[in-house]
Amino acid sequence: MAQTLYDKLWDAHLVEQREDGTALIYIDRHLIHEVTSAQAFEGLTLAKRPVWRKSANLAVPDHNVSTLASERRGGLAALPDPVSRLQLQTLDDNCAAFDVTEILLDDPRQGIVHVMGPEQGAVLPGMTVVCGDSHTSTHGAAGALAHGIGTSEVEHALATQCLIQRKMKNFRIEVTGHLQAGVTAKDVALAIVGRIGTAGGTGYALEFTGTAITGLTMEGRMTLCNMAIEAGARCGLVAVDTTTIDYFRDKPLAPKGEHWERAEIWWRTLQSDADAEFDAGIEIDGSAITPHVSWGTSPEMVAGVHGHVPRMVDMADETARNGLARALEYMGLSEGMPISDIQPTAVFIGSCTNSRIEDLREAAAVLRGRRISPTVDKALVVPGSGLVKAQAEAEGLDQVFLDAGMEWREPGCSMCLAMNADRLLPGERCASTSNRNFEGRQGSGGRTHLVSPAMAAAAAVMGRFVSVDEVLSSGIETRGGI
Amino acid sequence: MRAFTQVDGLVAPMDRANVDTDLMVPKQFLKSIRRSGFGPNLFDELRYLDEGEADSDNSRRPINPEFPLNFPRYQGASILLARENFGCGSSREHAAWAMEDYGFCCVIAPSFADIFQSNALKNGILPITLSALQVDTLFERLYEEDKFRLRVDLEAKTVLLPDGELWSFDVDAFRRDCLLKGLDDIGITLERADVIRSFEQRHRERFPWLFEDIVL
């Protein structure tokens, strides 16, 4: 019978199907970080349970690390916040006690778990991947079945190497045509979430297909799958093709020699069959997608950069009107206003959505030879990993950001979730390349607008949301001069 | 896990769609390495007028008198009534721990986000999905009646309204069984350790590269 990519991955990892509809699914790779693992390791300790298979696990600190070079220089012991230090030390202690491999805070390969994983080849096509983080969906870009899980499931995966799952339904999102210049995977992701809503993918595995998707780089596919959870789907998927295989060819933990040959044969089968049936599907014209900006407090509240904030009369029902009213009040916006009138005073380029080298190149291309607007008083660029940072520095991108008046930080999750000191002040408005614009997400009272790295850079220069073209033709060409 | 069989509880409202887990437990409280003690920080940004920190003394913080959970009439509530897509966003199980620690053992909504639903069920909290129309009705009655209570019976899969009306709901059979008996998943799965081991052996032969040690 014809199968979808999700069906194939499911079947390859199905340990046991039970009569009640649940199944045991085998987990190949478990990524671990400091925020959702401590209670799981404590559970193992209390129940005197060992880790099932040590080689499946790889840990890295990322969510709650300082991104200031001055604070990172002295290592973990020198971090100023004692609560954070204890959490990070607990990860180190647990990894040591349970013999789990960890990339330590001062290792040059440290980074956001979803950037580090593929970069090291710790995530590979055809794997099942779990992590106590909802953005684990990122790894579907590799043709891997990757689920975000809670801490009880982290403990379950550590103890049993399995998850108890119910098979999800299949949802195909076909993006046809080719993206216009200045339109990125982030815009595609925001357009999709805007179209199907934050619960549109609940209960489904989303597979992204079509020429606009196959035309994306691996980094772009990661950005797209990363935000599958913003549409309610635990996992997003892109079929394996030559782009995928070429990406993993030289990764440190990728199979070598005869194992690579065997792996490649299996990976090449990781596509949905031509006549596979999906339970749901939509088609989007990729060539019609414009650069997107979120205006509200949910990732489905988006508009094109040349569009407008919706009006109350456009809302379908009372709950939607209440939602819009609350979002407008929180965001300090008025109904119907043009997106291009929104003026962020902070800019954040980073997160597991958009902190890879390609993202930094994209932002730097807009910022090169320009300065950020005098109205922007906070501008952070946080590379996704130490290796991304080193590559960016080798290309001189750090200098482009510094010359523009931005800060160049150490790798970590930073202001995407604002667990560390990188956060918005109440009322502060931010152009952010992260994934969530929930109330308080980037700091209590902070106002988040989700955009691509190029759009964040453009907003930094102009002090309001504009398309990249407008910056390039604005006459703001040389440093400080208008 | 605490078992769940029946509850006859006071109902409190959370009258908005897409309640996310960031709203349920803001990020600064995720620094804790414990599983307990999150109750005072459930819906922290809505509940208090100041910005709480992990080491704040919550008993001394200014309460937001306009937030329904702070109304005297909802004190002691054990059932939360909510709108669609409850628990969306982050996978933080801290959201479920905070609900449990606060005293909620049941959430009723037209739909739930997947990860929150799974986390809730593993912490003795029953998410009940009712139709949007039924949820509308419950909100209306909740606002009309002081001390509006519901009786939830997991064994019978029913919700009993004060006027005697009885509604049934669906729940995953496996999860229902675990909740009724207070069973922990890991113990159940480890009973199948032999099956997992034999799968693992076949998987290793097929995909040997997945079993190489991580050498950094």
Reply yes or no on whether the pLDDT at A199 is more than 60: yes
A16 vs B92: CB contact, 8 Å cut-off? Answer: no
Please list every residue in chain B whose beta carbon sits closer than 8 Å to the beta carbon of residue A151: 35, 93, 119
Residue (of A71, A72, A63) closest to A34 by Cα position: A63
Reply yes or no on whether the pLDDT at A441 is more than 70: yes
Mutate to test the interface with B, among A8, A32, A39 (most CBs of B within 10 A): A39
The pLDDT-based confidence of B54 (bands split at 50, 70, 90) is confident
Identify the closest residue of chain A to B27 by CA–CA distance: A419
Written as one string, the DSSP assignment of A363-425 is HHHHHTT----TT--EEEE--SBHHHHHHHHHTTHHHHHHHHT-EE--SS-GGGTT-SS--PP
Give this prediction's pTM. Answer: 0.97
Give the gyration radius of chain B's Cα atoms.
20
Exposure pattern of A83-111 as b/e (b: 16+ CB <10 Å)?
Answer: ebbbbbbbbbebbeebebbbbbbeeebbb
Report residue A50 as tokens. Answer: 């060992």
Which amino acid belongs to residue A303? A
Please list every residue in chain B whose beta carbon sits closer than 8 Å to the beta carbon of residue A260: 209
Stretch A308-321: mean pLDDT, rounded? 93
Mutate to test the interface with B, among A319, A321, A416 (most CBs of B within 10 A): A319
A161 vs B119: CB contact, 8 Å cut-off? Answer: no
Residue A144: DSSP 8-state: -
State the count of interchain CB pairs (< 8 A) between A and B. 209
B12–chain A nearest CA distance, Å? 18
Residue A63 sits at the chain B interface (C-beta within 8 Å): yes
The secondary structure element, H or E, covering residue B175 is helix B173-181
* HSE of B21, CA atoms in CB hemisphere, 13 A: 31
B212–chain A nearest CA distance, Å? 7
How far is the C-alpha of A193 from the C-alpha of B67, rounded, in Å? 30
A234 vs B203: CB contact, 8 Å cut-off? Answer: no
> What pLDDT, in 10s, does the model give residues B20-42?
999 999 999 999 999 999 999 99
Q: Give chain B's mean pLDDT.
A: 96
Reply yes or no on whether the pLDDT at A482 is more than 60: no
Q: For residue A10, what pLDDT is reported?
A: 98
B216 vs A22: CB contact, 8 Å cut-off? Answer: no
Q: For residue A102, what pLDDT is reported?
A: 98
For chain B, give every domain's residue range: 6-183
Reply yes or no on whether the pLDDT at A294 is more than 90: yes
> What pLDDT, in 10s, does the model give residues B120-147?
999 999 999 999 999 999 999 999 999 9
Q: Give chain A's mean pLDDT.
A: 96
> What pLDDT, in 10s, does the model give residues A68-118?
999 999 889 989 999 999 999 999 999 999 999 999 999 999 999 999 999
Stretch A327-332: mean pLDDT, rounded? 98
Stretch A16-32: mean pLDDT, rounded? 96
For residue B189, give the nearest of A42, A160, A255 by CB distance: A160
B114 vs A234: CB contact, 8 Å cut-off? Answer: yes
For residue A149, give the nearest of B91, B186, B203 by CB distance: B91
Q: Which residues contact B103 (CB under 8 A, 6 or more apart)?
A: B39, B76, B77, B78
Burial of A322 (0-12, 13-18, 19+ CB in 10 A): middle
B122–chain A nearest CA distance, Å? 7
How far is the C-alpha of A230 from the C-alpha of A211, rounded, in Å? 23
Q: Are A366 and A373 in contact (CB under 8 A)?
A: no
Q: Are B40 and B58 in contact (CB under 8 A)?
A: yes
**What SS3 class is residue B208?**
helix
Residue (of A425, A445, A447) closest to A343 by Cα position: A447
For residue B186, give the nearest of A155, A166, A252 by CB distance: A155
Residue (of A223, A205, A207) closest to A174 by Cα position: A207
Q: Which fold has domain B6-183?
A: Aconitase; domain 4 (3.20.19)
B14–chain A nearest CA distance, Å? 12
Please list every residue in chain A whose beta carbon sits closer than 8 Å to the beta carbon of residue B98: none
A471–chain B nearest CA distance, Å? 33
Q: For residue B135, what pLDDT is reported?
A: 98
The pLDDT-based confidence of A412 (bands split at 50, 70, 90) is very high
Mutate to test the interface with A, among B55, B90, B180 (most CBs of A within 10 A): B90
B114 vs A203: CB contact, 8 Å cut-off? Answer: yes
Please list every residue in chain B whose beta carbon sits closer than 8 Å to the beta carbon of residue A298: 18, 20
How far is the C-alpha of B62 from the C-alpha of B64, rounded, in Å? 7
Q: Which residues contact A250 (CB under 8 A, 6 or more apart)?
A: none
B118 vs A109: CB contact, 8 Å cut-off? Answer: no
Q: Are A137 and A204 in contact (CB under 8 A)?
A: no
Reply yes or no on whether the pLDDT at A211 is more than 60: yes
B115 vs A148: CB contact, 8 Å cut-off? Answer: yes
ipTM exceeding 0.90? Answer: yes
In chain A, which among 213-252 make CB contacts under 8 A with chain B?
Answer: 229, 232, 234, 252
CA–CA distances in Å: residue B148 to residues A158, A199, A356, A384, B13: 43, 29, 52, 50, 11
Reply yes or no on whether the pLDDT at B80 is more than 80: yes
Residue (of B121, B118, B124) closest to B103 by Cα position: B124
The pLDDT-based confidence of A481 (bands split at 50, 70, 90) is very low
A322 vs B16: CB contact, 8 Å cut-off? Answer: yes
For residue A439, give the nearest of B23, B173, B211 by CB distance: B23
The pLDDT-based confidence of B160 (bands split at 50, 70, 90) is very high
Strands (DSSP E) contained in B20-162 are 79-82, 106-109, 126-129, 149-153, 158-160
Least confident span in A74-83, A150-159, B79-88: A74-83
